[in-house]
Structure 1
Amino acid sequence: MTKNQRLVYIALLASQAVIISLVERAIPSPFFFAPGAKLGLANIITCMAIYTLPVKDASKVVLIRLILATLLGGTISTLLYSGAGAILSFIAMLTIKKLRFLNISLIGVSATGAVFHNIGQLVVASWIAQTWAVMLYLPVLSLIGILTGIAIGITANYLLNHIEKLHYYMNLQAL
């Protein structure tokens, strides 16, 4: 894959993640017992980026999504919450993926990312509210995060199996 093709692939993933983020923002929270909890559908694209691109390029996808989704429909607080969650979950997912001896699947990596996304957002909420009491919400969000992370991981795994059939995919991580 040429450099231009790789840039187009990064732009394609980032644009898909932005669209999914904006659509998900328009959907009411499906969890009545956990106000503010979302499905995290854009993490399908993050998982795809982690498994198909080098770390540097996958991080570009995440950062572009954060910036564009905020510019197109967010606020500064949205950027703080989303940024903390996305960066922490991205680091956690990369770390778990690199620990090959644990033999953790994409589904496990996704669930880990979902939990760490919640931790990142709650740390920001604690900082803004000036109290650690916000962290009491973590068990509820962790349970939801694990369940949605599994669903996102299954979806990303399905997509990854299909994208592997593309000829140029094999050269993505080599660049």
Structure 2
Amino acid sequence: MKKLVIGALLGLSSLAANAADYVIDTNGAHASVNFKIQHLGYSWLTGRFNDFSGNFSYDPAKPEASSITVTIDTNSIDSNHAERDKHLRGGDFLSVKKYPEAKFVSTKVEDLGGNKLKVYGDFTLHGKTNAIVIDAQKIGEGADPWGGYRAGFAGTTTIALKDYGIDYNLGPASTHVELSLHVEGVKQ
């Protein structure tokens, strides 16, 4: 739910190239924004957002100058259960008619070394914006078979539903959502 997706996140590590701009490859399904939340404390409910877009820019010599933006279509939530998805789109949770998008915009990137990053930014969901931190990792980069160049990252973060004005009671074990982002960008 964190547009983050999230993932869009992580285009910012120690690479051996100059600063470059990348578009997240959602057309080729080489990226995903996933979520996980406990259901009543008895099991895990998992899902994803099927429609999102984003881009990132990074300079391996200056990761602190890197940036990423991801926009998520909240109506595209998919928990593999049509009736539950209808409920998640409604007023108890995402209110997609009123808040059709979630968005992550980075504000700072910290290079931790060893392809590990902390990506700080503002995440907007359900009409509320809060600062979050995504623990990220560079997966790899290089030329693709079609003459392009790609870079891939993964990241995770956890958000409290109440911080975004979502207070539907699913029990004390179900107050936070874990977000997982997988991003492959195509150099522009």
| TM-score, with length taken from structure 1 | 0.34
| Structure ranking higher in helix proportion | 1
Specify which structure has the higher proportion of strand. Answer: 2
Q: Which has the higher contact order (CA 8 A, sep 6+)?
A: 2
TM-score after normalising by structure 2 = 0.32
